[in-house]
Structure 1
């Protein structure tokens, strides 16, 4: 049986509330874009700065600023791309890798404390459902958003 409109609205509201609470908590603790740049450098480096901007859906000038700050903190190295000397390749340093690992460990401790009263089965169930939601969103979300834009007038207040 499919979810009804009220159940879908409840899910949307709950997801938005969680996302906003998480965003606010993150904003108080660290710069999410800077963390994204470091994480990409650790997990996928060496990368061009333009590729980092594309993967994070961020402005190249913003990414350049974050890369500069990470390089000054000795968390990443930058060097000219041998294939295109105008481009910069980004790689994580050992210090950057250690910093990311420590950050992730702290995040696991915080999240673990938040869900400390949950059963293992509840954690597994939520993980599976969120993975399924993420996969379905990646598979169907963009096309459904595009179709909705065609069916409805744009919301002027939401345009950046």
Structure 2
């Protein structure tokens, strides 16, 4: 049996509240774009900042600022792209990888404290459902958002 509109609205509201709670909590502790830049560089190897901006869905100028700071801190190395001398490539350093390990460990500790009273089965079930939700979102969500945006524009998002 398919979920009703009311059930889907409840799910959407819960996911939105969870996302907002994570955003508020993390924004106080670290810059999510900066961590995203490091994560993409760790996952992709040498990558152009513009590609990072596209993956993170942020403005290229924001990535540029974060790349500069991360390079100054020794977490990234910036080189000229040999295939296009006008472009740059970024690559994570061992120091950057260590930052990512520390970030990941902090996340595990925070989540561990939040779900300390949960059973292993509950944690596994939620993990599986979230993985399924993310896979379905990757497959259908972005296109659905584009279609919806084309039909209806919210006044506060128009520029």
Give the TM-score range, shorter chain.
over 0.9
Query: Shift in Å at residue 30 of structure 1?
Result: 0.4
Query: Shift in Å at residue 87 of structure 1?
Result: 0.8
The residue number in structure 2 matching 1:3 is 3
Alignment of 1:143 with 2:157, yes or no, is: no
Unaligned runs of 5+ in 2: none
The residue number in structure 1 matching 2:153 is 154
Query: Shift in Å at residue 40 of structure 1?
Result: 1.1
Q: Output the aligned Cα RMSD.
A: 1.3
From the superposition, tell whether residues 77 and 116 of structure 1 become closer, same or farther in structure 2 (CA, over 3 Å): same
The residue number in structure 1 matching 2:131 is 131
| 3-state SS, counterpart of residue 86 of structure 1 | strand
Counterpart CA distance in 2 for 1:92 and 1:76 is: 4
Counterpart CA distance in 1 for 2:33 and 2:155 is: 26
From the superposition, tell whether residues 87 and 107 of structure 1 become closer, same or farther in structure 2 (CA, over 3 Å): same
| 3-state SS, counterpart of residue 47 of structure 1 | coil
- TM-score for both structures, normalised by structure 1: 0.93
Count of residues paired in the alignment = 159
List aligned pairs for 1:89-108, cutoff 5 A: 89-108=89-108
Counterpart CA distance in 1 for 2:149 and 2:28 is: 33
List aligned pairs for 1:1-160, cutoff 5 A: 1-150=1-150, 152-159=151-158
Structure 1, 105-114 or 138-147: larger mean CA deviation = 138-147
| 3-state SS, counterpart of residue 74 of structure 2 | coil
Counterpart CA distance in 2 for 1:26 and 1:157 is: 25
Unaligned runs of 5+ in 1: none
| 3-state SS, counterpart of residue 101 of structure 1 | helix
| 3-state SS, counterpart of residue 23 of structure 2 | helix
| 3-state SS, counterpart of residue 9 of structure 1 | helix
- TM-score for both structures, normalised by structure 2: 0.94
From the superposition, tell whether residues 95 and 15 of structure 1 become closer, same or farther in structure 2 (CA, over 3 Å): same
Structure 1, 67-76 or 57-66: larger mean CA deviation = 57-66
Q: Deviations over 1:102-133 (max 9, x none)?
A: 11111101111110100000011101111111
Counterpart CA distance in 2 for 1:32 and 1:22 is: 10
| 3-state SS, counterpart of residue 35 of structure 2 | helix
